[in-house]
């Protein structure tokens, strides 16, 4: 049965579906790397998107290797293009973002980052998502381990369903 889209999701409808692609990552404290990624945005008829992401290391031949980061959460569009996002990480981190939707572009910055006792010292994040033609692109800036907010990842994904 097709679930009817909640009207609050109209501004983020362009994200719905499964996306697959590849990206690059780095940070001053680590070696740069390539990764493959699957992202899913779905809904259950309520005013939020369900978001999940899985990633794998990508070698020079383009083969997927070890699993890397995974994350999941909820995207909650609000009136006037505002957006609230909650993302949980298995690394003991929970991020709360406040953002804005402008056409097919979403920009968000962390309001709060909470960490378990053993999590790395992540203090802030900024994410930019947007359609590039028919693809989904994003860039993620991270402040962690005493470093200022700067690029950790960027990727481009194709819609697969």
Q: Residues interacting with ligand HEM, by CB under 6 A?
A: 25, 27, 29-30, 33, 35, 37, 55, 68-69, 71, 89, 93, 95, 120, 122, 125, 142, 144-145, 152-153
Q: Closer to ligand HEM at the Cβ: 11 or 36?
A: 36
Binding site annotation covers 13? no
Closest chain position to ligand HEM (CB): 29
Q: How far is the CB of 28 from ligand HEM (least distance, A)?
A: 8
Residue 155 burial by CB count (10 A; 0-12/13-18/19+): exposed, middle or buried? buried
Q: Closer to ligand HEM at the Cβ: 14 or 35?
A: 35
Place of tokens 């998107």: 49
Q: How far is the CB of 77 from ligand HEM (least distance, A)?
A: 21
| 12, two tokens | 């983020």
Q: How far is the CB of 137 from ligand HEM (least distance, A)?
A: 13
Task: Give which of 73, 76, 53, 103 is closest to 6, Cα–Cα.
Answer: 76
Task: Give which of 126, 129, 118 is closest to 90, Cα–Cα.
Answer: 118
CA distance 99 to 107: 5
Is the Cβ–Cβ distance between 105 and 130 less than 8 Å? yes
Binding site annotation covers 29? yes
Q: Closer to ligand HEM at the Cβ: 8 or 18?
A: 18
Q: How far is the CB of 138 from ligand HEM (least distance, A)?
A: 9
**DSSP letter assigned to residue 72:** E
Is the Cβ–Cβ distance between 77 and 106 less than 8 Å? no
Binding site annotation covers 120? yes
Q: Closer to ligand HEM at the Cβ: 47 or 92?
A: 92
CA distance 86 to 109: 11
Q: Which residues belong to the annotated binding site?
A: 29, 120, 152
Q: Which residues belong to the annotated binding site for heme b?
A: 29, 120, 152
């Amino acid at each position: 049965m097709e679930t009817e889209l909640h009207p609050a999701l109209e501004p983020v409808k362009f994200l719905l579906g499964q996306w697959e692609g590849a990206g690059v990552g780095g940070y001053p404290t680590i070696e740069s790397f390539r990764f493959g990624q699957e992202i899913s945005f779905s809904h259950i008829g309520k005013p939020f998107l369900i978001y999940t992401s899985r990633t794998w290391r990508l070698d020079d031949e383009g083969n997927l290797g070890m699993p890397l980061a995974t994350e999941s959460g909820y995207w909650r569009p609000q009136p006037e293009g505002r957006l609230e996002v909650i993302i949980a990480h298995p690394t003991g981190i929970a991020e709360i973002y406040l953002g804005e939707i402008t056409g097919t572009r979403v920009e968000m910055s962390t309001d709060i980052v909470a960490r378990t006792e053993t999590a790395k010292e992540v203090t802030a994040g900024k994410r930019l998502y947007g359609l590039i033609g028919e693809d989904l692109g994003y860039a993620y800036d991270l402040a962690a381990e005493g470093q200022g907010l700067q690029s950790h990842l960027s990727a481009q994904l194709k819609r697969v369903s």
